[in-house]
Amino acid sequence: MENQEIEELLREYQELMEIVLSKVGIYKRHAEYDDCLQELRILCYEMIVPFTSRETFEKQYPKGFLFQKLCWHVRDFQRRNRKIQAKESGDELLLEQLPAEIAVELREYFTDLWAALQQKEQKMLLKLLQENEKPLSRQTRHHYRKQLRKKFQKNEKSV
């Protein structure tokens, strides 16, 4: 496709992109509206370029499928931004920042808690805490948290 055809197609899909943003709860007054809209334009451009004609693109990506793909992309973009902001915010509680007495108590508490866990539960906890190249699925994370929560609540009652 020529650049002129690509630009025309992007202009036609502009309204669809705006509908996608409103569907995921990002409106024009929202701070990241422009960023998300630009992400969608880039995604559409990257999807359009490999096709030789408009008809083949529209056949491969009907509006309903394209709409869903754009929604997923925006949600992924939001998740990535939240992770980056969480890392940059520095709200994490570090033992080094706490008074010495509290840090010692916390270390003892977590050491006792770790010792109370079975080997299988220790592996679950490590997998939850580590950021691997292959992240855990949402269902697996939920299952691990549910199992560990039961163990932690039992441990709290015995303390």
Over residues 96-137, the pLDDT tens digits come to 667 778 878 888 888 888 888 889 988 888 888 876 667 788
85 plus 118 within the same structural domain: no
22 plus 76 within the same structural domain: yes
Domain that holds residue 123: 95-158
- Whole-prediction pTM: 0.55
CB of 39 closer than 8 Å to CB of 77: yes
CB of 124 closer than 8 Å to CB of 147: yes
8 plus 83 within the same structural domain: yes
Report residue 84's pLDDT band, with 50, 70 and 90 as the boundaries: confident
Q: How far apart are CA 39 and CA 103, in angstroms?
A: 43
102 plus 80 within the same structural domain: no
Q: Which has the closest alpha carbon to 24: 61, 98, 66, 76?
A: 76
CB of 54 closer than 8 Å to CB of 102: no
60 plus 12 within the same structural domain: yes
Domains: count for the chain? 2
